[in-house]
Structures are given as structure tokens and as C-alpha cells.
């Protein structure tokens, strides 16, 4: 086997390992990031991040029990997505 073939095989294995690491990173769940405009984005809920500003997040968090109760009361009408 020539030196270039060995290099190509090593590079292919490196790329495969990198690809697997990226796939596992996606499966980890949610992540947070502050955007350029100062909004907090939550990644991992869907295709696009959910971005709200500080006061919006606080208002939403203040409603946590109401949201949980609403979901419990209306869960049969809601769909699940995994």
C-alpha cells in the first residue's frame, strides 16, 4: 500500500469518527446560546431554535405550573413529537 493510500485511509477514519461525534452531539438534547441581539436561544427542540428575550423567558417561566396543568388537562388533544 502506498503512502498516499495510507494517508487517505487515515483521513477517512478521522472523518468517520468526526461524523459520529457530531451525530452524538445532536442527540445530547438542549443547548442555550445568547444571540447577537441579546436574546436567549434554546436549541434542540425542533428544526429552528426558540429565541426569546429575558422578560419573555421570565414571563413564560412564571407560567410554568399553568402550562403543566393545561397540558395535563388537554394532553389527549395534543400530539407528541420525538
* pTM, to two decimals: 0.61
Q: What is the pLDDT of residues 65-77, one digit of tens each?
A: 999 999 999 999 9
For residue 17, the enclosing domain spans 3-77
Alpha helices in 1-82, H assignment, sequence order: 3-27, 54-62, 64-74
Query: Is 42 within the bounds of a domain?
Result: yes
Query: Is 37 within the bounds of a domain?
Result: yes
Give the pLDDT of residue 77: 95
Query: Is 29 within the bounds of a domain?
Result: yes
Number of domains in the chain: 1
Query: What rounded mean pLDDT belongs to the chain?
Result: 89
- Give the closest residue to 49 by CA, choosing from 64, 70, 31: 31
CB–CB of 60/52 below 8 Å?
yes
- Give the closest residue to 27 by CA, choosing from 51, 4, 44: 44
- pLDDT at residue 53 greater than cutoff 90: yes
Query: Is 82 within the bounds of a domain?
Result: no
Q: What is the pLDDT of residues 12-44, one digit of tens each?
A: 888 888 887 777 655 668 999 999 999 999 998
Amino acid at each position: 500500500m502506498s503512502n498516499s493510500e495510507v494517508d487517505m485511509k487515515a483521513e477517512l477514519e478521522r472523518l468517520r469518527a468526526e461524523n459520529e461525534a457530531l451525530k452524538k452531539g445532536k442527540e445530547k438534547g438542549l443547548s442555550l446560546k445568547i444571540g447577537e441581539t441579546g436574546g436567549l436561544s434554546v436549541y434542540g427542540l425542533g428544526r429552528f431554535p426558540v429565541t426569546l428575550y429575558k422578560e419573555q423567558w421570565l414571563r413564560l417561566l412564571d407560567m410554568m405550573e399553568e402550562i403543566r396543568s393545561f397540558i395535563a388537562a388537554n394532553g389527549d388533544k395534543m400530539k407528541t413529537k420525538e
